[in-house]
Amino acid sequence: MQTNLLQNYIAKSTTYQEQQKRPEARAVDHNALYNRTFAKPLPPKGKLLRGTFLPTAFVKNMKYNAKALVDGAKGKANDHQLGKVNDVGLVAGMGALAAYLFTMNRTPMKKGMEILGPAAFLASMAIWPKIAIRLPALFVHGVDPMQKYQDSQGRVKPFFQDPQFIPWDLYSDKIMDKAGDRLGVPKDMPNRRAYTQEKMRKVAVQSNTLWMLTAGPATPLLTAMICNMAEKPLGKFFDKQTNKKADELLETVNFNDTAKALRSTKTVDKVNEIIGSYIDKTKGGYIEEAIDERTVDRFSKLFSEGKLSTILGGKFKEDLMKDMAGKPMDEAAANKLRNIADTMTDFDSKYGVLDQYYKLKLGKVEESVIANQCNRTSEAVLDSLGFTKDDYKDLFTLKTGVIRREKIVDREAVGKKLYDKFETIVKDEEKYKKAMTAITDSLKEVETKYAGNTNYEKYVKDICEQAGKSLREQGLDNAAEEIGAGANSLKSMMIDNARNRVDSLKNHCCRLIQTLDFFKRADDKTKNMPEDIVKMGKEILAKGHIDGQMTKFEGTMKKPFDFMKYQQLMRSIYGVGDVDPKSADVSTIKLLDGASLKETFKRYQKEMILKFGGAEYGPHKQHIYLEQLKEKVPSLKKFLQNGIAVDEYITTAVKNKRNSQIWLKTFGGLGIALMAVAVVAQFFFGKVKKPAASQEVKQ
Amino acid sequence: MMITPTSNLLAQYLKNNPAAAPVAAKPETQNNSAAVVQYLDNQAAINMPAVSRPDFNYKNDLKSLFASNSAKILAIIPRTFNAQDKDGNGYICKGETYGTFLNAIGRLDEVKNDGFNTLHLLPIHPPGKQKAMGTAGSLYAPADFLTIDPVLIDKNDPRSPNEQFKAFIDECHKRGIKVMLDLPSCASFDMFTREPDLMAKEADGLAKTPQGWNDIRMFQPWQDECKRTLNPALLELHKKYVDWCVELGVDGIRADVARAKPPEFWDVIIPYSRKLDPEFGWLGETYTYEDASPQANMPYDRPVDTWRCGFDMIYGQYHIFHEWKTATEFTDYVKDQLANSYDVPKGKSLLGSFATHDDVSPMFHGGVDYCNLTMGLQATLPMLNPYIVDGYQTGDDYLYPYEHIHNPVTDTDNNEMTVHRGKLDIFNFSRKPGGKNPEIGDFMKNCFAFKDKYADIVNKGTFITLDKRGDKNDQVITYVRHYKGKTLLVVANKNVNKPVSCKIMVPGLKPDEKLQNLLPSYGAESRFQAADGELRAELGAARVHVFEINTPKIEQDTRTIFRQSF
């Protein structure tokens, strides 16, 4: 009431009335209050950070994270630091687990994958939101839902992390204006900034929610795909490393150093211990006790411990029984035994090095150099033969198993497809060249990579002969023989094993070359090869197993067995003598020449004739051969010479390839679908109801 | 002199004090600031107070008090300040006496004797009744900004509410006590429904509610936030509020949640108030820089902006003193504020906000000893005006026996006696604040007396932190205040549970220095030994000591000194 009185009085007062009459006074610009010259808020202390699409945040913040870890351990960490401790803990935990599994695995590839797995997982966690959430949001709305900022205390935080704590003043009016334009906010909307902010917030919240929903399936998918993509290059890398490691082992310094490291005094100590049991400890000197069989047995087991026990154990016992059993232990005998122990210790350590080399390079183990070579060859050959996705599908038939129905590779179908492929390839020079090149490259690689085997053979010869000589000097002739001399000695066995492994792979490649070449020659009508020879030749080469070779393909040949036909067949395939214009196609010769493999192939052809020819080598006579062999070829050699049947080889390769394709199709498809959902969802984000028109709320 | 509706007070006033002729307006092309000044001048001229001046010679100097760090402030809730709870149940019911303006006068001598020179009146407006908290309604949920809660009016007195309030203010002024009135930041639901033009709304039309406070609604300070044009209706309301305050003799305003309105808003209202009263003081409730507000619907806190737009004093962060783990955290905060004083207009200060009505009683943080510790710091810190909430003087723990009980008798639509445990009750008609430890008040009085005696050093002196040795957990707060050759050494143990020993490096201290504590002793005993350039101290838990020492050259002997910008 008082206010009204005052107002009334003011209205009536002369001063006020005078003022009201003055148009200038009333012309005071009341809007002056609403202009922008008053105290404005200071700029914020924080700042927006530019984002990248590289997962570098962790690396960049390592210093802060390290401090957070220390403060956390002391109990002084704040909430933000505790969050970082959690991140560090996650990575450290995964690293620890990977390190543990790393030590549990034996092969380099498996070890590498143990590390790659968690790294891929962490990378997927970082990459997925960037490519599937952030990029589409930026593209569709111009909003970065993963925008980061540095607060007034220097801490880096996601801008939209807490929808209730968003430092909007880090976005200037100019930027918000542009954001509003991008989001389609009408320019004349009152409180445009608030509306734009709300839209941005909504896009961010919805995008982050989408991230949470999709991260679960996406991260393992992406992890698996990264690992799958990385497997090949990683395998290549480790293969190179393994090969290098193996070759380095045979360098003199490394060989000696490694042998030194492997050297153990166990044998010498134990020998001395046994000898010690024959010494009178009170008086000194040896006791008058004969060396019994049991003691001899102990000594022989000591001298041939580990892998050598099956080869040498019996021989040592034989020699020692002859030389020492029943005789008393004396200084001479003790020294002899010690010398033998020294010799075998030295031999063991060097043998250990060569064993390591063999395992790395030639062993029948996963990820040996030669095993990797085989895998690469099969993949290269399959690709060069032009197998398509549809081809793979056709080669699988449904089989009703005991437990479930499954699709398996049909070898018959593979053989038929192979024929078709060969026949297609040989008609096209380019395709033929491509297929041949894939095989010759592999063969060339084998030749180059295993050149070092001569070094291996040299070391085998040296250490075995040296050990043999030393043992002979001690009177252990049988053992010496078993180690260093003769066709069945350890020396021969080691050398043969190594050569067989390499030759087997070489022969396999040569068989592939031979098969393709034969198909090409058969296709050349000018060569006038008889039809039946062509048919039989193709079948023997593409499908011929060692069993067939041993019976000279009696099943394939017409009955009764036609020797002349067999000769003609073998000549058509492998030729006669060293130089035979019919033994290979011109283009094949040219390609082999270019790869410096002509001699290798010729040698193969000659070996095929020699090892499978003659009456001595099979149930039937009259196989063409060039010269008498000095001795019979063992079955193993024949097996290795023959190589694996091409259709069988391709069947295995097809199975692996198809599995890989199915995997990629399934998981890749899922990944793409998920990505599509994430991108399409963006078009539905950011819908905000426009502000209601001002309403009468007075009651 | 009694004011009646028929008194032609304005005529009398204008006769004695003719209104200045309005300044001629100039065309729009004129500089906008000058146009604003003209506008404000005109408004001030129109709105000059018409009520009678008191017959004693009183001049408001609250702004200067704040600037010179000389204010000693007591926060009270008028409706409980001198309430009489006869049955001891903790709240005022029928037959008992509510606190009123007139019966509050009965405690003013006590306030004066305690050493206070300023009263902070928590809001005095009628609370909203709908969607209310408590049975009285929250003080900060006013139904009307320009009227007084009828509860505060003595029905037996013929004077109007404004007159009774004025009478209380005059009595304060007679005793040299300034009166600062609390301006709520939001409105009650009742006001929201009545004044839609003032209120903020969400995009869907619903009211904006500050998170956690369902009984209040936010004002809308913007007409267009994009263009940063202010809401004229809200400006007008606040201008009227200021007019009303000045008219009644209120010396200043404490703006609740100052950040609820932007700097531009205050930059209109505060200069306007200064046109009416150049010494009108402004206290802003603002704490610390926030990158963003953690409370939904509430803007972020920016203390420096609050100072810049005209507030003389802000709350600061002393209310989390008990959460700071080390002495360094505390002294670093003091230094930051002294540094900030150079970034804002001169004469800005902080409140001794160690315990406000929004905090639990300091008794919970360490009892009597903690209260005395913080009081000692309030009496010696730079750039600070001591602040006490009623009840502190006797160690009130603000524990009310009626907490959350259902009361069939209520003035609102809520029967639950809402209470924030350990905090001064602002939702119900609660008892007069008071506890059982009058020694706290005695210590406080001594601290005020000390501060007055050493006003120059405490209010204007430099601030120098001292190095320590042997204080492993950094619990000893030690600093020096120096002014024109005179030095006060302050040593305090932040740890309320354990004694602490250390050596404090005091440049220039002599072994024969007489160490006489200028504050009363309390709690566990402390021991000191002066040595050459150092003080060896064994401090009792939560002890604070102040010594005047003879180190006239201490500023030269120290690496870094801090000084407030005056």
pLDDT digit string, tens, across residues A490-512:
888 888 888 888 888 888 888 88
All residues of chain A having their beta carbon less than 8 Å from the beta carbon of residue B28 are 29
Predicted confidence (pLDDT) at residue A409 exceeds the cutoff of 90 = no
A-B CB pairs within 8 A amount to: 157
Least confident span in A288-297, B67-76, B453-462: A288-297
Q: What is the pLDDT of residue A665?
A: 79
Predicted confidence (pLDDT) at residue A78 exceeds the cutoff of 80 = no
Tell which residue, B326, B233, B338, has the closest CA to residue B563: B338
Q: Do A191 and B10 touch (CB under 8 A)?
A: no
- pLDDT, tens digit, for every residue of B75-105? 999 999 999 999 999 999 988 999 999 999 9
If you average pLDDT over residues B400-404, what whole number do you get? 95
- Residue A40 is nearest to which of B21, B205, B264, comparing CB atoms? B264
If you average pLDDT over residues A90-114, what whole number do you get? 81
- pLDDT, tens digit, for every residue of A248-286? 988 888 888 999 998 989 999 999 999 998 888 888 888
Q: Do B24 and A165 touch (CB under 8 A)?
A: no
All residues of chain A having their beta carbon less than 8 Å from the beta carbon of residue B289 are 45, 152
> B94 CA to chain A: closest CA distance, Å?
31
Is beta strand B384-389 parallel, antiparallel or unpaired with respect to B73-76? parallel
- Residue B291 is nearest to which of A151, A692, A696, comparing CB atoms? A151
pLDDT band at A594 (very low <50, low <70, confident <90, very high): confident
Specify the 3-state DSSP secondary structure of A437.
helix
Angle, vertex CA B412, rays to CA B410 and CA B418, nearest 5: 75
- Select the highest-mean-pLDDT range: A49-53, A70-74, B29-33, B265-269: B265-269
On whether residue B171 sits in a domain, the answer given is: yes
On whether residue B484 sits in a domain, the answer given is: yes
- With a pLDDT cut of 70, the percent of chain A lying above it is 83
Specify whether B294 is located in the same domain as B205.
yes
Predicted confidence (pLDDT) at residue B45 exceeds the cutoff of 70 = no
Q: What is the pLDDT of residue A20?
A: 46
Which residue out of A34, A40, A155, A172 would a mutagenesis test of the B interface target, given it has the greatest number of B Cβ atoms within 10 Å?
A34
All residues of chain A having their beta carbon less than 8 Å from the beta carbon of residue B194 are 698-699
If you average pLDDT over residues B287-304, what whole number do you get? 92
Q: Which residue from A minimizes the CA distance to B302?
A: A41
- Residue A152 is nearest to which of B235, B263, B291, comparing CB atoms? B291
Angle, vertex CA A471, rays to CA A466 and CA A472, nearest 5: 95
The gap from C-alpha A389 to its chain's centroid, in whole angstroms, comes to 23
Least confident span in A29-33, A166-170, B68-72: A29-33
If you average pLDDT over residues B422-448, what whole number do you get? 97
Q: Which residue from A minimizes the CA distance to B40?
A: A33
Q: Which residue from B minimizes the CA distance to A149?
A: B291
On whether residue B360 sits in a domain, the answer given is: no
Dihedral, CA of residue A518, residue A524, residue A525 and residue A530, to nearest 10: 0
Q: What is the pLDDT of residue A587?
A: 80
If you average pLDDT over residues B353-379, what whole number do you get? 97
Reading the block at residue A640, the tokens are 């290795």
On whether residue B136 sits in a domain, the answer given is: yes
Specify the 3-state DSSP secondary structure of B524.
coil
Q: How far apart are CA B81 and CA B88, in angstroms?
A: 16
pLDDT band at A694 (very low <50, low <70, confident <90, very high): very low
Specify whether B178 is located in the same domain as B209.
yes
Distances in Å between the Cα of A57 and the Cα atoms of A155, A157, A212, A539, B291 are 13, 11, 19, 61, 22
Higher pLDDT, A212 or A105: A212
Predicted confidence (pLDDT) at residue A579 exceeds the cutoff of 90 = no
- Residue B39 is nearest to which of A1, A28, A37, comparing CB atoms? A28
Q: What is the 3-state secondary structure (H, E, C) of A59-109?
A: HHCHHHHHHHHHHHHHCCCCHHHHHHHHHHHHHHHHHHHHHHHHHHCCCHH
Q: Do B300 and A167 touch (CB under 8 A)?
A: yes
Q: How far apart are CA A278 and CA A276, in angstroms?
A: 5
If you average pLDDT over residues B198-211, what whole number do you get? 88
Specify whether B414 is located in the same domain as B552.
no
Host domain of residue B157 = 62-316+399-432
> B537 CA to chain A: closest CA distance, Å?
27
Q: How far apart are CA A634 and CA A497, in angstroms?
A: 13
On whether residue B1 sits in a domain, the answer given is: no
If you average pLDDT over residues B505-520, what whole number do you get? 96
Predicted confidence (pLDDT) at residue B22 exceeds the cutoff of 90 = no
Higher pLDDT, A31 or B477: B477
If you average pLDDT over residues B329-358, what whole number do you get? 96
- Residue B264 is nearest to which of A27, A39, A173, comparing CB atoms? A39
Is the sign of the CA dihedral B337, B338, B344, B346 positive or negative?
positive
- With a pLDDT cut of 90, the percent of chain A lying above it is 18
- Residue B193 is nearest to which of A76, A173, A697, comparing CB atoms? A697
Specify whether B146 is located in the same domain as B228.
yes
All residues of chain B having their beta carbon less than 8 Å from the beta carbon of residue A198 are 203
Predicted confidence (pLDDT) at residue B47 exceeds the cutoff of 80 = no
All residues of chain A having their beta carbon less than 8 Å from the beta carbon of residue B258 are none
Higher pLDDT, B444 or A571: B444
> A169 CA to chain B: closest CA distance, Å?
8
Specify whether B222 is located in the same domain as B294.
yes
Q: Structure pTM?
A: 0.72
Q: Which residue from B minimizes the CA distance to A173?
A: B226
All residues of chain B having their beta carbon less than 8 Å from the beta carbon of residue A24 are 24-26
For residue B226, the number of C-alpha atoms closer than 13 Å in the C-beta half-sphere is: 18
Least confident span in A95-109, A219-233, B276-290, B502-516: A95-109
Specify whether B37 is located in the same domain as B71.
no
Q: Which residue from B minimizes the CA distance to A168?
A: B292
> Domains in chain B: how many in total?
3
> B394 CA to chain A: closest CA distance, Å?
36
Q: What is the pLDDT of residue B3?
A: 36
- With a pLDDT cut of 70, the percent of chain B lying above it is 90
All residues of chain B having their beta carbon less than 8 Å from the beta carbon of residue A13 are 10, 14, 19
Q: What is the pLDDT of residue B27?
A: 38
pLDDT band at B171 (very low <50, low <70, confident <90, very high): very high
- Residue B36 is nearest to which of A33, A40, A192, comparing CB atoms? A33
Give me the residue label for tokens 């008992």: B96
> B205 CA to chain A: closest CA distance, Å?
6
All residues of chain B having their beta carbon less than 8 Å from the beta carbon of residue A46 are 291
Q: What is the pLDDT of residue B7?
A: 37
Q: What is the pLDDT of residue A6?
A: 53
Helix extents (H) in A400-452: 411-427, 429-449
Predicted confidence (pLDDT) at residue A423 exceeds the cutoff of 50 = yes
All residues of chain B having their beta carbon less than 8 Å from the beta carbon of residue A201 are none
Reading the block at residue A470, the tokens are 């030393």
All residues of chain B having their beta carbon less than 8 Å from the beta carbon of residue A191 are 222, 224-226
Q: Do A9 and B11 touch (CB under 8 A)?
A: yes
Check residue A450 and report its DSSP letter.
G
Helices and strands, number each (H, E), in chain A = 30, 5
pLDDT band at A314 (very low <50, low <70, confident <90, very high): confident
Give me the residue label for tokens 């895998």: A375
Least confident span in A22-26, B108-112, B166-170, B202-206: A22-26
- Select the highest-mean-pLDDT range: A82-91, A115-124, A527-536, B478-487: B478-487
If you average pLDDT over residues A28-43, what whole number do you get? 61
If you average pLDDT over residues A650-660, what whole number do you get? 79
Check residue B21 and report its DSSP letter.
P
Q: Do B302 and A165 touch (CB under 8 A)?
A: no
Which residue out of A1, A2, A47, A157 would a mutagenesis test of the B interface target, given it has the greatest number of B Cβ atoms within 10 Å?
A2
- Residue B222 is nearest to which of A3, A24, A191, comparing CB atoms? A191
Higher pLDDT, A698 or A194: A194
Is beta strand A47-49 parallel, antiparallel or unpaired with respect to A148-150? antiparallel
Model ipTM value: 0.82
> A142 CA to chain B: closest CA distance, Å?
20
Specify whether B127 is located in the same domain as B38.
no
Q: How far apart are CA B23 and CA B251, in angstroms?
A: 27
Q: Are B126 and B148 a contacting pair, CB within 8 Å?
A: yes
Q: Do B226 and A191 touch (CB under 8 A)?
A: yes
On whether residue B242 sits in a domain, the answer given is: yes
Helix extents (H) in A277-330: 293-303, 309-323
Q: Do B36 and A32 touch (CB under 8 A)?
A: yes
Q: What is the pLDDT of residue B138?
A: 97
Predicted confidence (pLDDT) at residue A695 exceeds the cutoff of 70 = no
pLDDT band at A659 (very low <50, low <70, confident <90, very high): confident
Specify whether B403 is located in the same domain as B538.
no
Specify whether B212 is located in the same domain as B69.
yes
Q: What is the pLDDT of residue B137?
A: 96
Phi, psi of A628 (to 5 degrees): -70, 135
Mean of pLDDT over chain A: 81
Tell which residue, B249, B217, B251, has the closest CA to residue B234: B217
Q: How far apart are CA B297 and CA B295, in angstroms?
A: 6
Q: How far apart are CA B208 and CA B217, in angstroms?
A: 6
Burial of A693 (0-12, 13-18, 19+ CB in 10 A): exposed
All residues of chain B having their beta carbon less than 8 Å from the beta carbon of residue A151 are 291
Specify whether B88 is located in the same domain as B128.
yes
Specify whether B118 is located in the same domain as B20.
no
Q: How far apart are CA B21 and CA A119, in angstroms?
A: 80
Q: How far apart are CA B192 and CA B218, in angstroms?
A: 9
* Cβ neighbour number for residue A144 with a 10 Å cutoff: 20
If you average pLDDT over residues A132-161, what whole number do you get? 92
All residues of chain B having their beta carbon less than 8 Å from the beta carbon of residue A165 are 291-294
If you average pLDDT over residues B312-322, what whole number do you get? 97
Q: How far apart are CA A549 and CA A371, in angstroms?
A: 26
- Select the highest-mean-pLDDT range: A107-111, A463-467, B188-192: B188-192
Q: What is the pLDDT of residue B29?
A: 37
Specify whether B190 is located in the same domain as B141.
yes
Tell which residue, B494, B487, B473, B488, has the closest CA to residue B544: B494
Which residue out of B291, B305, B325, B348 would a mutagenesis test of the A interface target, given it has the greatest number of A Cβ atoms within 10 Å?
B291
Predicted confidence (pLDDT) at residue B287 exceeds the cutoff of 70 = yes
Q: Are B260 and B219 a contacting pair, CB within 8 Å?
A: yes
Q: Which residue from A minimizes the CA distance to B6?
A: A5
Is beta strand B222-224 parallel, antiparallel or unpaired with respect to B229-230? antiparallel
All residues of chain A having their beta carbon less than 8 Å from the beta carbon of residue B38 are 28
Helix (H) or strand (E) holding B45: helix B32-46
If you average pLDDT over residues B144-152, what whole number do you get? 96
Q: Do B225 and A34 touch (CB under 8 A)?
A: no
> B308 CA to chain A: closest CA distance, Å?
7
